Amino acid sequence: MRLLSLSDLRARGITFSRQWLHKLVRENKFPKPVKVGNRTLAWVESEVDAWMAARVDQRDSCAA
């Protein structure tokens, strides 16, 4: 299992602000982060990959 930092998310093209990410998490629209330190959060890579795939699937189903 690999954990992704905020900068890792940005490298994958997820350029939301920290505040927007937390809003999406509260609304169950983005995977919940894991607390890895006092002030450090990270996201499970497989959950982020699944979220990204779902976004692409949603796009493709709307085009059909």
pLDDT tens sequence across 2-29: 999 999 999 999 999 999 999 999 999 9
pLDDT band at 60 (very low <50, low <70, confident <90, very high): confident
Q: Dihedral (C-alpha) 30, 34, 36, 41: value to the nearest 10 degrees? A: 20
Q: To the nearest whole number, what is the mean pLDDT of the chain?
A: 94
Please name the residue that has the structure tokens 């959950």: 47
What pLDDT is recorded for position 62?
A: 77
Question: Distance between CA atoms of 27 and 37, rounded to whole angstroms?
Answer: 23
pTM of the model: 0.87
**3 with 48: CB under 8 angstroms?**
no
Domain range list for the chain: 3-63
